[in-house]
Amino acid sequence: MFPKLKLTESRIREWYAAATAEQAAAVLRKPRCDYFDLLTLLSPAAVELLPEMRECAQRARRRYFGKTVTTYAPLYISNSCINGCKYCDFNTRHHFERKILTLEEISREADAVLALGLDSLLIVAGEDPKRAGLDYLCAVGELLRNRFSYLSLEVAPQEEAGYRRLFEAGYKGLTLFQETYNQELYKELHPSGPKRNYDFRVWSQLRAGRAGMRTLGMAFLLGLDEWRMEAASLGAHALYLQKECWQSKLQFAFPRITPVSDGFQPAHPVNDADLEQMMLAFRIVFPESGITISTREAPEFRDRMMICCADNMSAGSRVTPGGYAALADKDVGQFTLNDSRSVAEVEAAIRANGQEVVHKYWDSAL
Ligand code: SF4
């Protein structure tokens, strides 16, 4: 559970079991929802209200984001990692040639992304503080800050001072998946490396918000534990951050585990209907927060979710260092892509669904 969650696991299970479709319908009529409303919308009883939830979520999305969908690219700058996360192909037990891109290579990658027409970049790296630590990440930020209108990062958790340095280097947001809020399971899935420290990870967004980061991305990895219990913790974590870091915008993601080479099997697979219910519930309860949908998901699902939930989509993604400028000989990606459409194809689909493509979050020149 999220450490600040006052409810016990059994109380949450009771709430889920007792919720009714009528209660869920009443939540959809409320102007503003609270934590218990979120639980009601996540409950099994709300499944029969998916069409109504879709309409309600679409109205909420329209109110705060209009028809806009922002596109971005993840740029993997390093797959070197000292952690042993059992569900990830970059984990330290896997033997393949690791790559940490040089600044010159990153510049070529950035050119390749800009040539695709994208202007928002998510820098991604494994955890390797000696070879690709804070100085390296700051140098990358300084290299790219004036070439993209929005720069964010998905890297190992940092101290608040570290986040402050990253912010000053040009990064304006971070994404950090808690993976699982179940602390026992967390220990089991992270047998080695600094990532074993659950507490340091779970308070990352708080430190980043205090350091000035404008967007705080959060998620758990879908498939590791029961999604309804994880979603209850994610919701509590988000409400806590909204209060503590009110200057920052929250950005949710709902990443499902995709196959990895050593055959890790998720114990609690999440199907499309489960995922949709969860995304709709979060869109309704957190209407002003962002929702990202990545290329882990298939085109048809992404296209549906962009209309009622997601305001942010990756496009044309490469999940290996050097993937855009063909700098890598071998393609060891962090996860399997399920949407291999080009940027142009994704953006054409956004327009075909009646939405507008946005490349810039904001313009620092204004
Ligand atoms: S999930 Fe992140 S920290 Fe864990 S092995 Fe993969 S790259 Fe490293």
| Cα–Cα distance, 267 to 180 (Å, whole number) | 12
DSSP one-letter code for 316: S
Q: Whose CA is nearest to atom 5 of ligand 1?
A: 91
DSSP one-letter code for 116: T
The reported pLDDT for the residue numbered 327 is 80
Q: Is 127 exposed, middle or buried (CB count within 10 Å of its CB: 0-12, 13-18, 19+)? A: buried
Measure 195 CA to ligand 1 centroid, in angstroms. Answer: 8
- Token digits of residue 156: 């190992």
Distances (CA, A) of 14 to 18, 126, 268, 315: 6, 39, 20, 40
The reported pLDDT for the residue numbered 361 is 67
Q: Whose CA is nearest to atom 4 of ligand 1?
A: 85
- Token digits of residue 254: 């709902």
φ/ψ of 314, rounded to 5, equals -80, 155
Q: Whose CA is closest to 40, among 235, 222, 178?
A: 235
The reported pLDDT for the residue numbered 290 is 97
Measure 237 CA to ligand 1 centroid, in angstroms. Answer: 22
Ligand 1 atom at shortest distance from the alpha carbon of 82: 8
- Residue whose tokens read 């919308």: 41
Per-residue pLDDT of the chain (366 residues; tens, 9 = 90+): 998 888 999 999 999 999 999 999 999 999 999 999 999 999 999 999 999 999 999 999 999 999 999 999 999 999 999 999 999 989 998 888 899 999 999 999 999 999 999 999 999 999 999 999 999 999 999 999 999 999 999 999 999 999 999 999 999 999 999 999 999 999 999 999 999 999 999 999 999 999 999 999 999 999 999 999 999 999 999 999 999 999 999 999 999 998 777 778 899 999 999 999 999 999 999 999 999 999 999 999 999 999 999 999 999 999 899 999 888 666 666 677 889 999 999 999 999 999 999 987 666 665
Mutation to probe ligand 1, out of 76, 77, 88 (largest number of atoms < 8 A from CB): 88
Listed by start position, the domains of the chain span 9-358
Ligand 1 atom at shortest distance from the alpha carbon of 195: 3
φ/ψ of 220, rounded to 5, equals -125, 165
- What's this model's pTM, rounded to 2 decimal places? 0.95
Measure 185 CA to ligand 1 centroid, in angstroms. Answer: 16
Measure 127 CA to ligand 1 centroid, in angstroms. Answer: 7
Ligand 1 atom at shortest distance from the alpha carbon of 79: 7
The reported pLDDT for the residue numbered 331 is 60
The reported pLDDT for the residue numbered 333 is 67
Mutation to probe ligand 1, out of 91, 95, 176, 335 (largest number of atoms < 8 A from CB): 91
Ligand 1 atom at shortest distance from the alpha carbon of 190: 4
Q: Tell me the sheet residues that pair with 272.
A: none
Ligand 1 atom at shortest distance from the alpha carbon of 92: 5
The reported pLDDT for the residue numbered 353 is 95
Q: Tell me the sheet residues that pair with 152.
A: 122, 173
The reported pLDDT for the residue numbered 65 is 95
Q: Tell me the sheet residues that pair with 313.
A: 71, 293
| Cα–Cα distance, 222 to 51 (Å, whole number) | 23
Assess contact for 167 and 214: CB atoms under 8 A. Answer: no
Residue type, 70: T
The reported pLDDT for the residue numbered 330 is 60
Alpha helix segments (H runs only) across 147-226: 160-168, 183-189, 198-202, 204-210
Measure 126 CA to ligand 1 centroid, in angstroms. Answer: 5
φ/ψ of 176, rounded to 5, equals -150, 120
Q: Whose CA is nearest to atom 2 of ligand 1?
A: 126
Architecture of the 9-358 domain: Alpha-Beta Barrel (3.20)
- Cα of 83 vs its chain's centroid, Å: 20
- What CA dihedral angle connects 103, 109, 113 and 116, to 10 degrees? 140
Residue ranges lining ligand 1, Cβ < 6 Å: 81, 83, 85, 88, 90-91, 126-127, 195
The reported pLDDT for the residue numbered 258 is 81
Assess contact for 48 and 70: CB atoms under 8 A. Answer: no
Q: Whose CA is nearest to atom 1 of ligand 1?
A: 88
Contacts of 52 (CB under 8 A, 6+ apart): 25, 28
Ligand 1 atom at shortest distance from the alpha carbon of 156: 3
